[in-house]
Chain A
Amino acid sequence: MTPSLLIEQTLNGVQFGIMLFLMSAGLTLVFGIMNFINLAHGSLYMIGAFAGAATQAATGSFALAIVAAPIAAALAGLVLESALLRRFYGRDHLDQVLVTFGTILALNEATRILFGLTPLRMDLPSALAGHVEIIPGAPYPTFRLAILAVGLLVAASLYVIIMRTRLGMWVRAGASDRQIASAMGVNVPLVFAALFATGAALAGLAGVMAAPILSVQVGMGEPILILALVVTVIGGIGSIRGAFVAALLVGVVDTFARVLLTPALGGMAIFMTMAAILAFRPKGLFPAHG
Chain B
Amino acid sequence: MLLDVRGLEAGYGPSKVLFGLDLVIAEGEVVTLLGRNGMGKSTTVKCLSGLLRPTAGEILFKGARIDRAPPHVIAHGGLGLVPEGRHIFANLTVRENLLMAAIRRGDRKDPWTFERVLDFFPRLAERLGNGGAQLSGGEQQMLAIGRALMTNPDLLVLDEATEGLAPLIRQQIWRKLEALKAMGLAMIVIDKELDALLGLADRHYVIEKGEIVWRGDSAALDADKTAQDAYLGV
Contact = CB atoms under 8 A, between A and B. Distances in A.
The number of chain B residues touching the other chain, given as a range, is 20 to 34
A81 to B, nearest CB: 17
Interface stretch (B12-20, B25-33, B95-103): B95-103
Interface in B89-133: 89-92, 96-97, 99-101, 103, 133
Nearest to B77: A185
B51 A185 contact: no
Contacts of B148: 184
A243 to B, nearest CB: 14
Contacts of B151: 184-185
Contacts of A166: 99-100
B133 A185 contact: no
Contacts of A179: 51, 71
A180 to B, nearest CB: 4
Contact of B72 (A169, A188, A288, A289): A188
Given A166-B99, A290-B133, A186 B89 contact: no
Contact of B100 (A186, A188, A290): A186
A232 B99 CA distance: 28
Contacts of A169: 92, 96, 99-100
A182 B87 contact: no
Interface in A169-191: 169-170, 172-173, 175-177, 179-189
Nearest to B71: A182
Given A169-B99, A169-B100, A170-B100, A185 B75 contact: yes
What is the predominant secondary structure among interface residues of chain A facing chain B?
helix
B101 A185 contact: yes
Nearest to A288: B91
A177 B100 contact: no
Contacts of B204: none
A32 to B, nearest CB: 10
A240 to B, nearest CB: 10
A184 B133 contact: no
- Interface-central residue, A177, A180, A183, by most chain B CB under 10 Å: A183
A176 B100 contact: no
A187 B83 CA distance: 18
A173 B51 contact: no
A177 B89 CA distance: 7
B89 A176 contact: yes
Contacts of B89: 172-173, 176-177, 180-181
Interface of B: 49-51, 70-72, 74-76, 81, 83, 87, 89-92, 96-97, 99-101, 103, 133, 147-148, 151
Given A173-B96, A176-B91, A180-B87, 18 more contacts: A169-B99, A169-B100, A170-B100, A173-B100, A175-B91, A179-B51, A180-B89, A181-B89, A182-B71, A182-B72, A183-B50, A183-B81, A185-B75, A185-B103, A187-B72, A288-B91, A289-B90, A290-B90
14 contacts: A169-B96, A172-B96, A173-B97, A173-B100, A175-B91, A177-B89, A179-B71, A180-B87, A182-B50, A183-B81, A183-B83, A185-B103, A186-B72, A186-B100
